[in-house]
Amino acid sequence: MTDQDYSDKYCLIGAGACGLAVLRVFLERGVPVDCLEREDDVGGVWNFGKPAGSVNRSTHLITSKGLTAYRDYPMPKEYPHYPSHRQVWEYLRSFARDRGLYEKISFGTSVERVEPIDRVGQADGVGQADGVGQVNGVGRVNGVEQVDGEYWRVVVNGGSGSRGSGSESRRYRGVIVANGHLWAPCLPTYPGNFSGVVLHSKDYTSEEIVRDRRVLVVGLGNSACDIAADVARFARRTRLSARRGSYFMPKFLFGKPSDSSGDLLQRLRAPQFLLRWLTRLSAETVVGRPQDYGLPRPDHRLLDERPVMNTDLLSLLGHGRVEVKPEIRSFDGERVRFVDESEEETDVIIFATGYRIRFPFLRDDLLEWSDGCPRVYLNAFHPRFDRLMFAGLSEPSTLTWRTAEELAEALADYIELDRRDPSALNGFREAKGATPAAAANGKRADRKFLEVDYHRYSREIRKLRAGFRRADRGR
């Protein structure tokens, strides 16, 4: 298959919320880019009912609309403080229309394979001698192996640009991966066989699945708690299986979204001990402690992990509408056994147990994986390949999509400097090449990797952009 030459452009994979942020910035900055989207519309995980969509029927934002929206495109005034998934999707569509992004996206175009190639189109050039005194563009910066001047082959299927429904191989200057991290379900396994219905939270699309049935929701994150509260309206019996404890925060304080208070304190750079103390005071004053409702006591400090923004579940627990169960031990037909030796007859199990980070079009050996996480600098830059980057590979504590816009500006700075003088980026190559592997430190490594504090991360991005400017002036 001959490569079609797109070597003056970058390929952006995905038109979800973060992909749209990157596309908008790149177009404004004049960065040549093709955006490929496998679905028939924008929205990514917010595209309810589509394969890429991971929102369930009860999903609402857990950050308020003012701290979620793009920087100069507020959500409509008539939206509630915490919009539904349908409203969020309509907002993203409106943003794409008003910013002229739709005509720049190739819909119905799936990416089958992404791989590095050299200047003449040879794949897997890394580490293979090319006979001219180097290894197909591979160099070393202070002992760190880097790939300088590589191009990328992107094999696509479908879409108007791939000549019908067949595959097409394209040669791009670089790739930005924005395919999201909330689409490959993480499903635990247990001994025995369960004879009822098993589904992941992303597949909870209708109340008819649970109506008048005995339902077990597994997990204690935001999705699990939202689903359990919704299921309790329709199910004959609702139980919630929790392996670890979580802290709960009210969505409102004094009639205002509670995250606005936390954001203000972060902007003022309040010390962490003060943030922790004030957050605990407000949480325990308004909702109490998790163990007061029969939930497990958290085994981590408040703010070390994302809290649950849901008080509806706590009310249902207090009224006996939802029952707490410990971790599952095994299955036996319709009976579920728990680690406390109790058993419950169950018709439906909904696993709200998160997602795995996956890039199905990238070979595993192109990334260095540790505990299910890729080794990536600032959740965005590949440590070795100069022109393989990522967007949306994080879950900021607030200002969710503004984080993506800020990162997109940094990516544009980097691409522009790389075009003008790649050698000016040698210091940055050393920094990204020394990126450590993800470490769990007592929690799931992928959660620790993805969850970032917006204000700290934003400062890192600003420092990075300042470094690019200094490197450009020093050329």
Summarised one tens digit per residue, pLDDT across range 24-82 is: 999 999 999 999 999 999 999 999 988 888 888 889 999 999 999 999 999 999 999 99
Looking at the fold, whether 392 and 424 belong to one and the same domain comes out as yes
Question: What's the whole-model pTM score?
Answer: 0.89
Q: What is the predicted pLDDT for the residue at 253?
A: 87
Residues of the chain with pLDDT under 70: 1, 119-149, 159-165, 265, 437-447, 475
Last residue of a domain, one of 351, 371, 406: 351
> Does any domain span residue 230?
yes
Residue 374: strand pairing partners: 369
Compute the distance between CA of residue 70 and CA of residue 44 in angstroms, rounded to an integer. 16
Last residue of a domain, one of 330, 351, 372: 351
Q: How many domains does the chain have?
A: 2
Compute the distance between CA of residue 321 and CA of residue 129 in angstroms, rounded to an integer. 67
Domain extent at residue 388: 3-183+355-473
Q: What is the predicted pLDDT for the residue at 232?
A: 97
Looking at the fold, whether 149 and 230 belong to one and the same domain comes out as no
> Does any domain span residue 169?
yes
Nearest one of 92, 10, 95 to 47, comparing CA atoms: 92
Looking at the fold, whether 193 and 331 belong to one and the same domain comes out as yes
Amino acid identity of residue 148, one-letter, is: D
Q: Give 369-426 as a DSSP string.
A: EETTEE--BTTTB-SSBTTEEESS--EESS-HHHHHHHHHHHHHHHHHHHHH-GGGGH
- The domain that holds 346 is classified in CATH as 3.50.50.60
Nearest one of 90, 450, 429, 64 to 259, comparing CA atoms: 64
Neighbours of 127 (CB within 10 A): 10
Which letter does DSSP use for residue 296 in this model? P
Q: Give the pair of three-digit tokens for residue 76.
A: 């409509």
Looking at the fold, whether 196 and 325 belong to one and the same domain comes out as yes
Looking at the fold, whether 178 and 29 belong to one and the same domain comes out as yes
Nearest one of 423, 419, 405 to 461, comparing CA atoms: 405
> Does any domain span residue 68?
yes
Last residue of a domain, one of 351, 372, 400: 351
Q: Give the pair of three-digit tokens for residue 255.
A: 């009639």
Amino acid identity of residue 143, one-letter, is: G
> Does any domain span residue 296?
no
The C-alpha angle 379, 385, 387, rounded to 5 degrees, equals 80
Q: Is 16 exposed, middle or buried (0-12, 13-18, 19+ CB in 10 A)?
A: buried
Compute the distance between CA of residue 168 and CA of residue 11 in angstroms, rounded to an integer. 14
> Does any domain span residue 445?
yes
> Does any domain span residue 76?
yes
Looking at the fold, whether 23 and 131 belong to one and the same domain comes out as yes
Looking at the fold, whether 194 and 177 belong to one and the same domain comes out as no
3-class DSSP state of 282:
helix
> Does any domain span residue 305?
no
Q: Give the pair of three-digit tokens for residue 169.
A: 């191989």
Looking at the fold, whether 196 and 328 belong to one and the same domain comes out as yes
Q: Give the pair of three-digit tokens for residue 178.
A: 């924005």
Looking at the fold, whether 107 and 40 belong to one and the same domain comes out as yes
The pLDDT tens digits for 418-459 are 999 999 999 999 999 988 866 544 455 666 788 888 888 999
Looking at the fold, whether 179 and 212 belong to one and the same domain comes out as no
Looking at the fold, whether 121 and 39 belong to one and the same domain comes out as yes
3-class DSSP state of 136:
coil
> Does any domain span residue 251?
no
Looking at the fold, whether 329 and 440 belong to one and the same domain comes out as no
- Decide if 58 contacts 226 (C-beta within 8 A): yes
